[in-house]
Structure 1
Amino acid sequence: MTPRTPLAAAHAAPLDLGGRTALVTGAAGGIGRACALRLAAAGAKVRAVDRDREGLEALAGQTDGVEPYVLDLTDLDAAEAAAAGADVLVNNAGIQLVRPIEEFPPDVFHTVLTVMLEAPFRLIRGALPHMYEQGWGRIVNVSSVHGLRASAYKSAYVAAKHGLEGLSKTAALEGAPHGVTSNCVNPAYVRTPLVEKQIADQAATHGIPEERVVSEVLLRDSALKRLIEPAEVAEAVAYLCTAQASFMTGTSLSLDGGWTAH
């Protein structure tokens, strides 16, 4: 008989990351900023990665425990080096362009996949040796409902998020014997600057006012007719770092307002 985990383990203390180092990409704003604040509040030393120096400095000035780390994730060697020694890795950084495939600039497609798929691979690669050595690690990949579904005019973003889902599952299988979990969090549209820009892009693509984009395009397939807040996503990320979530790996946690229930 395989021994059971004591019941007390299921009622472990709330998230305590004291003594842990967490790396969060895209930390200067939106979901990344909310994740950095949440993990710092749990006691982690947060390595906040972004190319936006001013945004990182503003974040660091708001709370203790945040170390600004200015980095463009297209520098893949630097990205891998930045992840060394991380106990928690949150791959969050993302970019978006809304265009039909026949009009989508190939250079932008390449950049999107570099930042949102190849950089997470390099960051995971850089973080795993330390995680394996200590027998504990948490990888949380901020995917999207578009990691599970597709939408027109978002070929690069959808391709990158679908790839991230596969990368996350592979990391889960390889990391399991070493005490490392890897999961995706899959929000629908979040109230972030990236989505605000997307609203403008969608308005131009569909030829409709921006207010109609929210109701008729973004929230069309959502049962809950509102945008999700960055702090709600950060709470899901934090949950995946708790002792209660230690058996949760290789999965995708949907925060999509019922979108994928259709």
Structure 2
Amino acid sequence: MRENTDDNNELETGLNAASLSRIKLRRPKETTASPRKVKSGDITDRLQTLAEELEASKPTSINPEPAFTAEPEAPAKSPARKKTKPRAKPAPKRPASVPVDVAPAPRVVSAVPPRRANWARPAAASGWQKKRATPDILTYWMEIRDGNRYPSWQNLDTAKIGKYWPNCTLVYCDRAVGRLQLENGFASEIRQAVLAENPHQKYVSDIDFSPMVVDWVLSLARDVANSGKPTHGTEYFPSTFDEIPLRVIALPLSENQIQVDHVLCYVQKLD
């Protein structure tokens, strides 16, 4: 009886090994396709399409050289020659216990600060909050364009801009001197439009237009004034407790439909 049991076990073991040898594993096919690119966003594609359209309709009379350049740095002064003077008595040395104040070397501050790594962000507020739908500023730019190559700054509706895009700024491109400057009168009209929309509520902007932010906005407006095409950019700026991501959409304006004389810049705080 024992011999029969051993024979059965050996037979089952042989059958299992034979069945396993006939199993063919399916290996995944190696694909040489490149990894899928991250979607850049609808505003990027739309601005790129608009830029290509403006480039195709660009008049040949436009000077290809940029009219606006960055503010030049102050040239370094050459050291003056020392005049020989009679030797004066050496000043008495200070005691070792008195510290000597040494002025620190000046630091070059970039217009856009680098993003701080491993910076903790506060948790999102609990609860569901419904956001108010805001019209698209690029669609508004296309509407006031009215079939022309560019819209004019005179077509801007400050009441509508103040209602939907209160953080807009208008940059004037002075080609006579090759400089850019913010239109303060436009900002005042925007503020008045916001107050007229909510007369019982004090208007406080959610964006701090610090010198770094203003310099960054002007740099994007400079690119638009030189190229005649819209652009946008996103950067992180420091705040009291965290870093705030800001996005700027810079749109060209022109009265003669050839050269950009104003740039409408929409500064948006990203979530």
Larger Rg: 2
